[in-house]
Amino acid sequence: MPEGLRRIDETRIEVPKGYTEGMHVGGIIYVDVELEAFLEEGAVRQVANVATLPGIVKRSLAMPDIHTGYGFAIGGVAAFDTDGGIISPGGVGYDINCGVRLLRSDLTRAEVLPRMRDIVARLYNEVPSGVGSKGKLRLTREDERLILLKGARWAVEQGYGTSEDIERTESGGTMDGADPSLVSDRAFERGRAQQGTLGSGNHFLEIQYVAEIYDEKAAGILGLFPDQLTVMIHSGSRGLGHQVCTDYLEVMERAAGKYGITLPDKELACAPLSSPEGRDYFSAMKAAANYAWANRQCIMHWTIEAIAKVLHASPEELGLRLVYDVAHNIAKIEEHVVDGDKKRLIVHRKGATRAFAPGHPELPDVYRELGQPVLIPGDMGRASFVLTGTAKAMEETFGSTCHGAGRVMSRHQAIRQAKGRAIWREMEDAGIIVMSAGKRTLAEEMSEAYKDVSNVVDVVHRAGISKKVAKLRPLGVIKG
Active site residues: 403
**115 and 310 in contact (C-beta within 8 Å)?**
yes
Task: List the beta strands (DSSP E) in 236-390.
Answer: 271-272, 321-327, 329-338, 341-350, 353-354, 373-376, 384-389
Question: Measured between alpha carbons, how far is 330 from 30 in angstroms, rounded to an integer?
Answer: 20
**101 and 322 in contact (C-beta within 8 Å)?**
yes
Report how far apart, in Å, the C-alpha atoms of 249 and of each of 158, 256, 277 are.
Answer: 34, 10, 11
Per-residue DSSP letters for 53-93?
STTB-S-EEEEEEEE--SSSPEEEEEEEETTT-EE-GGGT-
Question: Measured between alpha carbons, how far is 31 from 35 in angstroms, rounded to an integer?
Answer: 6
Buried b (16+ CB within 10 A) or exposed e, 226-259: eebbbbbbbbbbbbbbbbbbbbbbebbbebbeee
Report the phi/psi class of residue 238: left, alpha or beta, with left for phi > 0 and alpha for psi in -120 to 50. Answer: left
Question: Measured between alpha carbons, how far is 283 from 130 in angstroms, rounded to an integer?
Answer: 28
Residue 218 parent element (H or E)? helix 216-222
Q: Which amino acid is at 159?
A: G
Partners of 471 in the β-ladder: 212, 385
Question: How do beta strands 466-479 and 433-436 pair?
Answer: parallel
**406 and 66 in contact (C-beta within 8 Å)?**
yes
Question: Measured between alpha carbons, how far is 180 from 64 in angstroms, rounded to an integer?
Answer: 35
Cα angle 217-219-224, degrees, rounded to a multiple of 5: 140
Question: Measured between alpha carbons, how far is 422 from 297 in angstroms, rounded to an integer?
Answer: 33
**375 and 327 in contact (C-beta within 8 Å)?**
no
Partners of 389 in the β-ladder: 466
DSSP label of 408: S
Q: Which amino acid is at 258?
A: K
Task: List the beta strands (DSSP E) in 339-432.
Answer: 341-350, 353-354, 373-376, 384-389, 400-401
DSSP label of 368: T
Question: How do beta strands 384-389 and 373-376 pair?
Answer: antiparallel
